[in-house]
Amino acid sequence: MGAVRQGPCRRRAIAMSSEPVNQVRIQMRSDPRLLAGVRELVAAVAHRLGFDQLTSSQIALAVDEALANVICHGYERCCHKPIWISIDELKDQPEHAIRIVIEDEARTVDADCIRSRDLDDVRPGGLGVHIIHEIMDTVQYEPREPAGMRLTLIRVGNRRPASAKDDPA
């Protein structure tokens, strides 16, 4: 099994093996021009599953960052390679929950080597992995047979950013 990392605000037990409900499955090519449409789809599905607008947008951002990493690093910007995305509602959670699985046929990478750059290194780019971990409750990278990688992302419930909690309005 690949590396599983829990995000920063993770007080819930999240079932990785939950039966999917309302599954959406798409195949796309590794063309960056398709990312905007996938973001819209993910945000719309998350919203329909009960996530608020902010959380739905955050989930879409995490998926966008993951797909950009597959395109840029996995496929080295080759625009015609396959990527599969599955979106499932997880019904066995105490709150609404979504599982998104991204699969590719890119080169296999050791899951322990997938890291964000140091946040003190201020420069453009390189924060996708950090963003994904901040937004999602569970992030699991694993090799895919016969080739490629599988990334499983899970988010349970809505959370407000710390700055929104402090706002008296």
Q: Residue ranges per domain, the chain?
A: 29-166
Question: CA 95 → CA 48, 54, 110, distances in Å?
Answer: 14, 16, 32
pLDDT grade, residue 107 (50/70/90)?
A: confident
CATH number of the 29-166 domain: 3.30.565.10
User: By the 8 A CB rule, do 23 and 49 touch?
Assistant: no
| 39/26 Cα distance (integer angstroms) | 13
Structure pTM?
A: 0.80
Q: 119-169 pLDDT, tens per residue?
A: 555 544 567 889 999 999 999 999 998 899 999 999 999 976 554 444 444
